[in-house]
Each structure stands twice: as C-alpha cells, then as structure tokens.
Amino acid sequence: MPWEKNSLAIIGNTERIGPTPRADGLAEGIGVVIGSIMRILVFQHIPVEHPGIFRDFLAEDGIPWDAVELDARDRIPDLGGYDALVVMGGPMDVWDEDEHPWLVAEKAAIREAVTDRGMPFLGTCLGHQLLADALGGRVAPMVAPEVGILEVELTADGEADPLFKGLSPVSKCLQWHGSEIVETPPGAHILARSPACRVQAFRVGEKAYGLQYHVELTATTITDWGEIRAYEESLEKILGPGALGGLDAEANRHMDEFARDARLLYDNFKCLLTAP
C-alpha cells in the first residue's frame, strides 16, 4: 500500500549471490561458531530494509551471509547450502502477487525452509507476515496503522520461549506497519502482543519465528528509511508533518536498550543454529 511501510524482516546488505568478495572480508561460505560451519540466507525486498545491527553481530562471530534482493529479481539459491533463513521487510503486502510476482516463489521457499527442511527462520514485519501467509495463516489491513516507538508485551508462551530468554516481559520497539496477522498458521504459538496488534510475535514448530516489530535498529535506520520518499510521506500522513525527525530523535533516546535487546535476541537465535 503506498501510504505505509509495511514490513521489515533480519539481515541484509546489498550484496548479491555470486562470487564477488564480501565487503567485510569474510570468506564466502566459511563461518565458524561454536565449532560449527554456519551460513545464513537473507531475503530483502528493498535495499534499505536490511538487518541493521545484526550485521555487526554476524561479523563479530565470523558468520557469513548472502542477501537475495528479491525486488531486483535476484534468484533464490538452493536452500541446502544454508543453515538459517532470515526475511526482512519492505513496502509491499503479502497479497501483492500481481504487482510483485516473485512473492509466489518467496513463499514457496519459506515453506520449503520451515516445513520441509526444519531450518531456523526469523522474519520481521513483512517477513513475519510472509511466514504466516506461507504456512496457512491470514494477513489483513489494520483498522489503523501502528507506527512509533511503542511497547510490546510477551505472552506467557513468550516468557517461556528460548528466543526471548533474558528479555524484559515489556519492552519498547519500533513499529511501522499497516497490516497484521489476523489468523496464525496451524499449530502456531503467539509470543508477544500489543494493544493495537494481537500477534506481535509467533513461533511455528521449534525454530521458525516471526516478529511484527523491529529489533534491528541502528542510529541511522530511521533516517535511511526516510530517504525513501514514499516512506516519509506515509509517516507524515500517519503522525503529521515533520514526523521523521521526531521519530528519529525518540528512537535514538532508546538506542542503548534497543541494542541490548537486539544482542540478546541474536544470541538466543544463534543457539537455534547449533541445537540438534
């Protein structure tokens, strides 16, 4: 929808699948963590929607990753070469298959990763919604968009879930979406909620997670997104003229806690990569 920035799901630079050397100097396909070889695949839907701070954590751990820019028609590689799938956000909706036909192949890849291969999966915003849609849930427009630095609350299942180990039951985060999951996939567990959105986080099986909110923020995330004119216009339509600067200032007041929570969530997700 043109007025909203619908989704954001974890990791991504603008590199493409191929032999080009990585900018961070890591060898392609070689990353060792806790004695295991790791490689992560990231789906992106617009270049500015990347995993932000998670890139720093991956570099520190020597874990290589490949970004597939689906909106640029990058091909989806064989999932057998990867240990986890991370799906970022973008301005499209899960039902926009006529305008963005690559969504069909992306959903098929998500089903293969989660259902057929049992790969660890993490999606944020659009990635969260795509996980639900691909596995039989339903996504629909919200009555009113949820935008701003707002609180999410863990459910009882969320407080007991390993992904949220060490995190506060109530935390602040960035919200920027106008669609939501209205029906979760069969067997899903709702892990977090907010007053405006019943499904802020959910898990399917043991290792597939979706987060509606954003945990990947850096000090430049909001200004980077604001360079996309459609995003700036949608924000001003919802929060009023000049909203970008105010949102950026508020986010930076909370950046230390955002970074702390992102590190905890990253470390917890990393444990899924090494779990049997």
The residues assigned a catalytic role are 125, 214, 216
If we measure between CA atoms, which residue out of 6, 233, 2, 49 comes closest to residue 142? Answer: 6
Residues ≥6 apart with Cβ < 8 Å to 134: 107, 108, 110, 111, 114
Q: Which amino acid is at 211?
A: L
CB atoms near residue 105 (< 10 Å): 12
Contact call for residues 90 and 103 (beta carbons, < 8 A) = no
Residue 169: both structure tokens together: 């039951």
Q: Give whole-number Cα distances, 231 to 5, 63, 176, in Å.
A: 6, 31, 10
Residue type, 104: V
- Sign of the CA dihedral 123, 225, 70, 102? positive
C-alpha to C-alpha distance for 14 and 24, rounded to whole angstroms: 12
Q: For 68, left (φ over 0), alpha (ψ -120 to 50), or beta?
A: beta
Residue 220's CB is within 10 A of a number of other CB atoms, namely: 12
Query: Phi-psi category of 41—alpha, beta or left, where left has phi over 0 and alpha has psi -120 to 50?
Result: beta
